[in-house]
Amino acid sequence: MVQLDVDVPPGHIHALVGGNGSGKSTIVKILAGVHRADTGTINVNGHQWDARHFTRPVSRQAGLRFVHQDLGLFPDMTVAENLALGTSMQAAQITPIRWRAVRREARALLDRFELTLRPDARLGDLRPSEQTMVAIARALNVTDGQPGILVLDEPTASLPGPDADLLLEHLHRHRARGQTVIYISHRLAEVRAVADTVTVLRDGRNVLTAAIDSLTQNQLIDHIVGPTQNVTRHHDRATGAKPAGPRRRTDGIVVSGLRARALERLDLTIAEGEIVGLTGLAGSGFDEPLQVLFGLRRASAGTTLIDGRRYDPEGPRDALREGFVYSPADRHQDGCFLDLSLRSNLTAPRLRDFWSRGWLSTRRERSDAEAARRSFGIKAASVEIEVGALSGGNQQKVLLARCLALSPRLLLLAEPTQGVDIAARNEIYDLIRAVVRGGTSVLVSSTDLDELARLCDRVLVVAHGRVVTEHALAGLNVAALASALHLMPKETA
């Protein structure tokens, strides 16, 4: 549930901040008319609407304009063409579009927003900040003479430092002309540089609205994290618990200079029986190492060594041979077979174990699945029930049970408790700790800072494709991770 009471004065830049899952995205979707609110009212420029009936057309009528992290622009088209999209282009009887008029209107719009860009320039050739400003100009082009309200959702997430600074300069000029802006960002240094006021969301509620100048960085972070989240939870983690029995390996898994898509460079060592976490903001590349190690994506540079041996998987089959097992973040799309039985989901990777003389022994398969159901505490009336009928927590246990049945050397977990209630979450943590005590290593990518602080021995924070800070046992808590995320250094051009 998200509950928000806030007033945004005209001609102000009002920041909306909070941790992952705090409700920022829900608020944006309600304002855009994508999600319907359960109750409440929305007032814009003296006009009031019932929030339950605030649809997309009503949002546009109210003058709300949105620019998301994905700008929705076309890099192979010109600036003028991108600006004209969504409007009625000038047309004549002979030629479908009067391009001279389109370019003239684009020039007028660029002048209005003080953008020294050529209308016929290819958008993909512009700097990232210039592309963002084109998106803003397009969003504010249809306001019936009213300044409207501009909602910017993580506008600098993919911008290098100098481009982010240019964008903030443009926003200052917009504010000076009376433009109202709602600015959503994880980057507190930018929030403090550009905003007049700030609202902090936590667990779906407004916990603070204040003038930005009245708060220090640490005070702002404390409100984002919450008073109960600043304690390092040594007792919750498996840290210090050595693998049972003799050590099987000595060198562990060593990743050096790994590069893939958004990931610029990653150096990482994972010891036997260690839980290592990776976190970062969207687009930082923090989730890509798991896909590379499992062979779902090829690295463009870097090396991985297993006990000194070179490891370069061409696909998941190679990863499975090395004992690398992956649990994806989206259990519905990539993990579970929702329309198949619990039995089929649990035994899918090991079907050869149940074949004999050309026949599949469903009796042995059912017995194996029933044993796994009891061992992992999967709440289901029968192993023949469809997995799609189970709760999210039980579906996540199915994924984990299926992974652990392969006796992994390295367990790769992406968002392992996403959409799972507290009780099921704790059960999943216990299952992970138990397998770690047997010597399995775990690499976790997660945006849940509380999860990482509770579960991991070390956590690496990734920004702009690189590790910017590492937190080990002594300094591993939610507040430290939140500070690293929100105060991360800018990427240079």
Predicted pLDDT at 274? 94
114 has pLDDT over 80: no
What's the predicted TM-score (pTM) here? 0.67
Dihedral of the alpha carbons of 441, 443, 446, 451, in degrees to the nearest 10: 20
With a cut of 80, say whether residue 105 has pLDDT above it.
yes
Short-list 331, 339, 342, 347, CA closest to 388: 339
Specify the pLDDT at position 487. 67
Domain ranges of the chain: 13-76+122-225, 232-323+408-493, 336-406
Q: Do domains 13-76+122-225 and 232-323+408-493 have the same CATH topology?
A: yes
The SS3 of residue 248 is coil
Q: Which residues of 79-108 are buried (b: 16+ CB within 10 A; e: fewer)?
A: bbbbbbeeeebeeeeeeeeebeebbebbbe
**pLDDT tier for residue 290 given thresholds of 50, 70 and 90:** very high
pLDDT in tens, 435-449: 999 999 999 999 888
**For residue 203, what pLDDT band results from cuts at 50, 70 and 90?**
confident
Please tell me the total number of residues recorded for the chain in this structure.
493
Task: Please give the DSSP secondary-structure letter assigned to residue 272.
Answer: T
Q: What is the pLDDT of residues 372-423, one digit of tens each?
A: 888 888 888 888 988 888 888 888 888 998 999 889 999 999 999 887 777 7
pLDDT classification of 278: cutoffs 50, 70, 90: very high
Report the sign of the C-alpha dihedral through residues 289, 295, 299, 305, in that order.
Answer: positive
Q: Note the CATH architecture for domain 232-323+408-493.
A: 3-Layer(aba) Sandwich (3.40)
Query: What is the overall mean pLDDT for the chain?
Result: 82
Is CATH 3.30.420.40 the right assignment for the domain spanning 13-76+122-225? no
